[in-house]
Every structure is written in C-alpha cells, then in structure tokens.
Chain A
Amino acid sequence: MKKSIMIDERTERANGQISFLVLMLTQFALAGVIVYKRYILGLPQEAYAEISWINFSSMALYWAIRLYLSGILPMISIKKMLGIYILLVAVISVLTYLIRGWPLPERWYEVLYPAVGVAVILGFYSLVAYLGKHRIEKIISE
C-alpha cells in the first residue's frame, strides 16, 4: 500500500528549513515576552524566570548540537583561551559595576558571577569544539 504522506530528500530538507524557521520565531517570541514583562510591565525576575530558562536552554542546545554536528568550531589554545577569559571577565565586571554598582556586603557572591559565567560558557565552547572536531575526524578515518 502506498503511503499517503511520502518523505523524500526534498520534503526532509523543507521540514528542516521549516523547523529552523519556527524554532527561531518561537525563541524570538519568548525573548519578546521576557522583554515585555521586564521593561514594559516592570515585573520582578520571578515572573519570567521559567521562560528565560526555557529560551536560554533552547538556544544553547540548538547551537551546541548544530555546531557539534557540523564540527566547524576552531579549537582554541589554553593560552589564548586564558587571555579571552580574563578579557571577558574584566569587561563584564567593569560594565556590571558601572551600571549596577558594587553588590551589597551580604550579596558578596555576586562578584563571582562574571568569572563563573564566562568559565561555563568558554568551557562549554571548548567541549563542543573538541567533540565536534573529534566526531568528524573519526568519521573521516573510518
């Protein structure tokens, strides 16, 4: 019996394009909701925390998988990575203190946010770059 809906390479490609477009629109819409709640309605962070996490996770996961599968991220040497880390932490810290001022003494741990955040992001980048490249090299050598 013939299938009523047939998937071939063209429809698969179209499905991929549609999925990408709809995902981007959804992520932008969620970002719009966050901006609206925060800046227009002036709601506290708790009012949009879940949406922020969902949107951030969705974006991070999407780009991580995409970059992993394409294996195109360049590996950065430890020396260069350290330089990027120090520069980013310094810039973010200075900007944060200029905009928000020093954190209150009881919230001293906030000074660690830029250092930890940048470390997580760069660590994540290095991991994805390494695994993506390793995956492609493995396929080529088989």
Chain B
Amino acid sequence: MEELDMENRVKLARVEKGFTQEQLADLVGVTRQTIGLIEAGKYNPTLKLCLMLAKVTDKSLDELFWIKGER
C-alpha cells in the first residue's frame, strides 16, 4: 500500500490563537519538540493528538491536516 504524506497548518492555527509552541504543547500534553516537528512536517501525530490540536486551536480536523497533493 502506498504511504501517504501528511501536510498541516498547525503553525498557522497556533499563531492565530497567539500560542507559543510551548503553550500549545502544554495544552495538548506533549513536548515543545513534538509540536515543532509536527509543524515542520517531520512527525505524523496520532489521531488522538490531531483531535486535541484541532480542539485547542478551534479548527476542524480537515482544516488542520490533509493528505499531501489533495489541496
């Protein structure tokens, strides 16, 4: 099966909410490095973490994450 690359708008959503990486990390219970890697597209978060990020940034899941090449 073909592996799908994921893209995201986490950084934009975070900045819109006025959060630092550290603050966002604290809100969703991960490290700042994890947020940094997600924003850089170097780490694919679990669905649970995706949902938490969507919740704290007041975005829907598909506004934050999508499959590469589909937008």
By a beta-carbon cutoff of 8 Å, the part of chain A in contact with chain B is 6, 8-11
Q: Which of B1-31 contact A (CB under 8 A)?
A: 29-31
Nearest-CB residue, chain B, relative to A3: B31
A-chain residues with CB within 8 Å of residue B37 when the two chains form the complex: 10
Chain A residues whose CB sits within 8 angstroms of the CB of B34 once the complex forms: 8-11
Minimum CB–CB distance from A20 to chain B (whole Å) comes to 18
**Size bin of chain B's contact surface:** 10 to 19
Nearest CB on A from B24, distance (A):
12
Closest 6 CB pairs of A and B: A8-B30, A10-B34, A6-B31, A9-B46, A8-B31, A8-B34
- A18 nearest CB across to chain B (Å): 16
What A residues does B48 contact at CB under 8 A? 9
A2 (CB) vs chain B CBs: closest residue: B26
What is the bound-complex CA distance between A8 and B32, given in angstroms?
Answer: 10
Shortest C-beta distance, B8 to chain A (Å), equals: 15
Most buried by A among B30, B37, B45, B49: B30
Give B44-58 as 1s and 0s: 1 = Cβ < 8 Å from A's Cβ atoms: 011011000000000
Q: Which residues of B contact A9 (CB under 8 A)?
A: 30, 34, 45-46, 48-49
**Chain A residues with Cβ under 8 A from B46's Cβ?**
9
Min distance, Cβ B10 to any Cβ of chain A, angstroms: 14
Instruction: Point out the residues of chain A lying under 8 angstroms from B45, CB to CB.
Output: 9-10
- Closest residue to B37 on the A side, CB-wise? A10
